[in-house]
Amino acid sequence: MFAGLLLFIPVLLAEDVAVLFCRKKSVCVLEGLSVKLSCGFTIQDTRRKLKEFYWFNNNNRKKWKDTTIPEDLSEDPEYYGRLLHGAVGGFGQYSITTTIINLRPSDSAEYKFRLNTQNSGWKNSESGTTVFVTGLKVIKNPDTVKEGQKVTLTCSTMCILSNNPNLTYIWYKNGRRLTNPKTLKTSLYLDPFSITDSGSYSCAVNDLRSPSLCLLDNCWDVKYAKKTICAITGSSVDLPCTYTYPSGQTITQTLWSKTVDAKGKPEALKYGDSVQYRGDKKTDCTLRITELRERDSANYSFRFKTQQGSYNDPFQVTLSVTDVFVKVRPDIVIEGEKVWISCSTSCVLKQNSTDYIFYKDKLRLPSPNRHWILYLDPVSSEDAGSYSCVLVGLENQPSLGATLTVRYPPRSTTVMVSTDQNKIVEGSSVTLTCSSDANPPMEKYTWYKRNGTKVSVLQGETESYTIPIVSLGYIDQYFCEAKNEIGAQNSTWDLTTDDRLVNVLTPVLCVVAVLTAGTLLVLSYYTLKQRNRRERADTPRVHYVSNDASNSAVSEEESVDTLYAHPDDYDDIQGGIDEYDDIQDDTYTALQRDSRLSMYDSIPKRESP
C-alpha cells in the first residue's frame, strides 16, 4: 500500500499492544487551514517490529471495495497531495500522525488508523478523531435592523474552533477594513445603528473570508467562486466572479489586476488573445486566461466603478500554474520489490477530471486503477525504463520523464569456448569466457575445475580463463561463478574435455565405420558371385524367347525342365562384350499369355543337385 511507511519501531505481539487510541475525539477547523491528527499505541516489549500503517476515512465505507477492509487515505484522489505522514515513539509509547492541509468541507469525517504488526496482522484503532471543517458566516442580531437600535454582527462558525484561542478577526465594510473601536474579536457592535452604517459587512481569519452580509440593501461586494485555482501549463482557466453595487447605479469601468509579489503593487491586466474578460457590466466579472504559462501564477483581484463611486476588492483569488510531474518511488529497486509511480502537480487541481495517462519509454500503458498512481508489485527487470504521464484532455502537455532502475543478480550465466585452432586437439590452447546478464554489472568472476568429486578454484577473477595445454584423456569440467553486489550464479557444466574428445574423434570414427561397411559389402559380393558360378556350372543354358511373334513358341531343342528363371543367371549375359551389346539392342515383347501358362503348368518339381 502507498502509505505503507516502513517503521523500524519495536512492537510486541498483537495481544501485547495494550491500547490503540487517538489523542482527540473531535476537532473543529476552518476551511482552507490544516489539521494534525495524532493516534498511538502502547507496548510492553521491544522485540517485535511494526511492519506498516495507514490512515483511513471511516465515513467512506461505501466507497471501499470490501466494506470490511478500510482503504488507505493516501490512495483516495480526494486527498491527493494534501497528506503529510509521520511517526514518533519511545519508551513503550508510540504516536502515528497525519496532517491534512487545505481543508475542504467534504473532509468532515471520522479518521482512524490501521497498523500491521509482525505476528498479529492488521488491527484498527477502536476510536478515531472526528474532524469538522467549517467556514465563516456573519450573523446579525436582531434579524430586523432599524435605525437607532443596537445591532451586533458576529463572525460565526458551525462549531467551536479547536486550539485557536487567540485568533485575530478582521472586519470589512464595503471592502474596506475597519479599524475603529467598534470591532471586538468575534463580534462587531453598531450602537446605535444609523443610515451611514448601511452596507456590506464581512469578516476574515487568516485570509479566510466569510460571505458578505448586506444591511439595508446598500451594498458593494465582489465574490470569487474559488479562492484558489490550480491549472496545468498550456491549458485555459476561468476565474469565476460576481459583483454587486447599490441599485440605480450604472457600471462605468471594470478592471482585473494581478499581484505577482505579495509586497508588490497590483498590475492592471491588458485584455487580449490570451487574457479575456468574459463578464458584463451587470453582475458577471469572470476572467479567462488561455495558454497558461508559469508567469501567470499570481493573485488576481477585481475592481469596478459606477457614476457614483468605486469598489476595490481587498480579497484576491490565487492562481497557481503547474506542470505535471511523474514520481518513481523508489527509483532504484531490486527485482521483486514494490514500486509506486505517481503523476502529480505542485498544487491541488480543482477540476472534474484528475485522470492521468502513463507512458513507459513513450509507449502508452493501460490505465491504472487509482487514476493517478501506478503500482508495480512485484517489479520486474522488464519494468525498468523512463516513465512519463499526462492529464487526460491535455495530452499535448506531458511531464518530463523519470527513470526506474531495476537491479537484479546474475542470470543466464554461460561459458563460451574458443581455441587457437579450428578444433580442440591434444595440446591446444583453449580460452573460456564467462558471460551473464546482471544489473549492476558483475564485480567478480570465479573459475572452478571439477575432476570427479574434487572441485578446485582456479587462479584469476576475470571473465576469461585460458587453459594453456588441453589434455584430452582426463575428465575435467570447468565452470564459472558470476557475482555482483546483489547475488551470484554458477554456469552449467560448460566444458568437459572428454566431450571435446568425442567431438574430435567423431569424424574419424565415421570414416572407419564407412570403410568397414564397404569392405564387408565387397566381401559379401564376391562370395555370392562365386557361389552363383558354381550353381550355373550344373545348370543348362537358358534360352531366350525371340521377339518375333511367329517364334513365340519355345524352340524344340529346349528341354522343358530347364526353363526357369534365376536372378544370378543374368550375370552370364555379360559373357562377352559383343553378346552384351546385341542383347542391349534387342527389343523385347511380353510372352503370350497362353504359351506361358502352358509352359509353366508342365514344369516338374526341381530336384536338389
Pair (379, 417) in one structural domain: no
Q: Does this model's pTM top 0.75?
A: no
Cell numbers that stand for 382 in this block: 522488464
Strands (E) across 461-584 are located at 464-467, 477-483, 488-490, 495-496
Pair (121, 29) in one structural domain: yes
Nearest by Cα to 443 from 434, 452, 451: 434
Which DSSP state fits 317? E
144 occurs within a structural domain: no
Question: Rounded distance, CA 289 to CA 269, Å?
Answer: 11
608 occurs within a structural domain: yes
Cell numbers that stand for 278 in this block: 468574459
Instruction: Give the DSSP H or E segment for 95.
Output: strand 93-100
Question: Rounded distance, CA 395 to CA 361, Å?
Answer: 16
**469 lies in which domain range?**
410-502
Pair (49, 114) in one structural domain: yes
419 occurs within a structural domain: yes
Pair (393, 415) in one structural domain: no
Domain C-terminal end among 73, 107, 133: 133
Q: DSSP states of 506-521 as a string?
A: HHHHHHHHHHHHHHHH
Which DSSP state fits 217? T
Q: For residue 71, give the 3-state DSSP assignment.
A: coil
**Looking at the predicted structure, is the pLDDT value of residue 583 above 50?**
no
Pair (360, 418) in one structural domain: no
66 occurs within a structural domain: yes
pLDDT tens for residues 503-525?
A: 444 444 454 455 556 666 666 66
Q: DSSP states of 293-316 as a string?
A: -GGG-EEEEEEEEESS-EEE-S--
Question: Rounded distance, CA 534 to CA 195, Å?
Answer: 155
pLDDT tens for residues 60-111?
A: 888 888 888 898 888 787 887 788 877 666 556 777 888 998 898 889 999 9
Pair (78, 119) in one structural domain: yes
230 occurs within a structural domain: no
461 occurs within a structural domain: yes
Pair (382, 418) in one structural domain: no
294 occurs within a structural domain: no
Q: What is the pLDDT of residue 19?
A: 56
> Which is it for strands 93-100 and 35-42: parallel, antiparallel or unpaired?
antiparallel
The residue with greater pLDDT, 596 or 456, is 456
Pair (459, 498) in one structural domain: yes
Q: What is the pLDDT of residue 540?
A: 42
Pair (64, 121) in one structural domain: yes
603-to-560, 561, 566, 606 alpha-carbon distances in Å? 7, 6, 15, 8
CATH at 71: 2.60.40.10
Which range among 55-64, 428-437, 558-567 shows the weakest confidence by mean pLDDT? 558-567
Q: What is the pLDDT of residue 498?
A: 43
Domain C-terminal end among 373, 400, 427: 400
pLDDT tens for residues 20-30?
A: 667 778 999 99
Pair (380, 414) in one structural domain: no
Pair (74, 103) in one structural domain: yes
Pair (422, 463) in one structural domain: yes
Q: For residue 252, give the 3-state DSSP assignment.
A: strand
516 occurs within a structural domain: no
pLDDT tens for residues 132-187?
A: 999 999 999 998 888 899 999 999 988 888 866 667 888 998 888 887 655 657 88
Q: What is the pLDDT of residue 557?
A: 40
Q: How many domains does the chain have?
A: 4
Reply yes or no: is the peptide bond before residue 105 cis, omega within 30 of 0: no
Domain C-terminal end among 481, 502, 523: 502
Average pLDDT score over residue span 596-606: 39
